[in-house]
Structure 1
Amino acid sequence: MSDTRRGHAARMPVPARMPEKFVTPDLDALGALVRDARVGHFAFVEDGEPRVLPIAIVADGAHILLHGSTGSHWLRLLATGIPVALSVTAIDALVVARSAFESSMNYRSAIAFGSCAPAADNGPDKVIALDLVTEGLIPGRVAELRPATAKELAATLVLRMTIDEWTLKVSEGWPEDGPADVAGPAWAGILPLATGYERAIPAPDLAAGITPPHSVRTLLGTV
């Protein structure tokens, strides 16, 4: 089963042959996908040529946050407000059908269109934006860290993507084999794909006696 969800746009016609597809503006589902995927691919045009930038992303309501060095040519280009398209995908399972034709994946995939702008100047608002990025990737980590220095803030560019239109497609369910294949001897089912963190590997220069903090243990599921 799959469905397509679009926000901030006219409703798309639903193909009659796939009645399980529907359209709904579900920002919570989009945010959940961004949290699970952690990385998005920004597509844009520079001097008439296509470009793609893979980068860590964090959902902030109806916006997407990204950050990097102020020396990044591509981030500075995005900061000018040029049109961008963002692609985000998470694979949830393999669908193993009784034929190669019906075999597929369960997945969530979103395409968002809009533009980026600096989230804030070098001040309290920029600190808040950076904290949102850090918390989005490692929940609880901000409280465990020292504040960013003025030099670090000046060297970091935080962008906020304003989403003008987005589409979210979700594919989930069992193999859709025909009666003849169902009656046959081939196995069918789904193979859920689990992603997670295996273990905390300390840095070579970590001082003795410093143990993984609460944020890291939470990600490992050992809290």
Structure 2
Amino acid sequence: MAPELAAAAVKLATRAYFVEYERIVYLDADIQVFENTDELFELEKGHLYAKWSHTPQYKAGYCQQRPDKVPWPTAELGPPPSLYMNAGMFVHETSMATAKALLDTLRVTPPTPFAGEGSSKQGAHRLSSANYMRMLSALWSLEISKDFLNVFFREQYKTIPNVYNFLVAMLWRHPENVQLEKVKAVHYCAGGSKPWRYTGKGANMD
């Protein structure tokens, strides 16, 4: 399995594994925590919590971070898009039932040849870790991982402040929404921003 697929698959696999814990805070490897975030474990149960992602500019010029700047053209395009979470950090409760539901949903997702190798006969109480990871990595090979998470958890998703998953690109994309003194965790997801290979030569790295 390609390293990037294996790493991404963990995002959903935590639902089935680590069931000895009631709640887990998932963090991508390029997120650095600077302040205590224990309060995340006290959030109301029954939801998946994540930072509201900045939504790319649509052709109409609309952006969810600045909805007042360019109104969404409801007459032409219908209701505005749902809030979109950034899957680099999220708070969720472990659940074998949810893990099975995720698998069942993946089984009706158009498969890649790699996904076809997986078995579809695993029970909820005997999930094969190999097949589970194969199905999940196939999802990422279709490059719909974030879309899948957003659709699957649409009714459960609740936003949390971006201080728990501060994307460095917010500094130049939406500086009006930045409060650096309150940031608790920084997500170095912008090109050239990774601390372990930072050169200062990337776009906006000044």
TM-score by length of 1: 0.22
The structure with the largest strand share of the pair is 1
Greater Rg by CA: 1
**Quick check: which one's helix share is greater?**
2
Q: Which has the higher contact order (CA 8 A, sep 6+)?
A: 2
